Structure 1
């Protein structure tokens, strides 16, 4: 009898702790999903944002001025920010490491291998100033252009951590809140996957009770790395249909929660 009572107490405690864990980790949901879109592409304004807004979903758009069109886009990005989307910092000029296979698109003047820390941080600060002029916000996240994180052997974000609540990387992975690297958060690169394949990633996040960050570029075109409109729409609809179990939020909101949880556990 005592053994049965002890076992019952154990399972009740386990169930309570699991429930409490859900509420503590992901706003009472099983997992968190962040939708991020890189490079301030025109298709984000014409294809991605209308699809998101039609379902009431909020995302993070990492802004850079690669094409030189940012000035004309400012009213649309300001409207997106007012509507709850995060405008993240993706640097002003999108410098990446050149001189290796697959990086032929890197222009010599924006080759990260020629940058000093001072030049890189000046570029990032300039974009922060521009974003503040657009949305009036001071709390935001950063995304590494091309996933490159260093000037020589030095992580350049070290000079800018006070400016950001977190930074998104490009390494794939679904991570528990206690394991999230806030300044190189994992993400799942989207390029040609079907809607079913994207949804399968979400189901893994639910099973692991972790954080899944999608990294989009083209949406229905506009970039060499692309998701089709039907696949994108299918993913968004799944997220909306399952929002009772999935916390869908901009990167900045998730980063704030993760930082709070990690700080509490350290103390």
Structure 2
């Protein structure tokens, strides 16, 4: 499914004849995504990627709504069943021993990721899936735990503008949003436009619902700018962004 003005077949530029690409990603499956983000996205005709933690009550209690989210063209991505993160780091007091990545084996982690893929397939019927590392943790002890055969691409948390020639699709960076103003977010898009690269935004709370948050006004200002500049900016899902980069390799 193509979301930008120009199709892949027609494109001769880096981002389907646009100056840059933008991907909006939302992590953890929380109620404000359904209640605040998606209605605004849909009103503007913009598509986004939702990296779902499938044990979240906002997923388990609202599965019918997530099915409709997929039907309307948004991407449902894998953010594991239980969001395991490496404990013992500053600000990680909330990590309980049962879901501390230090207590996982690679087999357990991959089983959890594959089970999440199965759950998401039951929701949207799709086989191709992308992944977002919980807390940005890519390693279990000293080993990378992701099996690239299971995913098209993966989003990390390091700050990065993405080149069309990016080689490592399993550690694509992003811009983490936390308390930024609409003007600040728009300026990040303008940097991508000036450099001819892509930017992936990482949201958690939208108007609340998570300690990492963006205000409704800042979120609205960014999305309205993307809509107003749709002839210059390709706003697309994380999966389509990764497929486009892969197709250029």
For normalisation by structure 1, the TM-score amounts to: 0.87
- Compute the RMSD of aligned alpha carbons: 1.1
Deviation at 1:113, TM superposition (A): 0.8
> Normalized per residue, which structure has more helix?
1
Correspondence for 2:206:
219
Kept after mapping to 2: 8 A contact 1:39/1:66: no
Cα separation, 2, equivalents of 1:220 and 1:23: 39
Cα separation, 2, equivalents of 1:180 and 1:58: 25
| SS of 1:213 mapped into structure 2 | strand
Task: Indicate which of 68, 79, 83 corresponds to 2:72.
Answer: 83
Correspondence for 1:259:
246
Q: How many positions carry a matched residue from both structures? A: 239
Cα separation, 2, equivalents of 1:216 and 1:162: 27
Correspondence for 1:58:
47
Cα separation, 2, equivalents of 1:45 and 1:114: 32
Kept after mapping to 1: 8 A contact 2:77/2:131: yes
Correspondence for 1:181:
168
Aligned positions of 1:180-259 closer than 5 A: 181-259=168-246
For normalisation by structure 2, the TM-score amounts to: 0.94
Cα separation, 1, equivalents of 2:130 and 2:234: 18
Kept after mapping to 2: 8 A contact 1:81/1:87: yes
1:93 matched to 2:82: yes
Correspondence for 1:154:
143
| SS of 2:76 mapped into structure 1 | strand
Q: Which has the larger radius of gyration?
A: 1
Cα separation, 2, equivalents of 1:41 and 1:236: 19
5+ residue gaps in structure 2? 1-10
| SS of 1:188 mapped into structure 2 | strand
Kept after mapping to 2: 8 A contact 1:90/1:143: yes
5+ residue gaps in structure 1? 1-21, 263-267
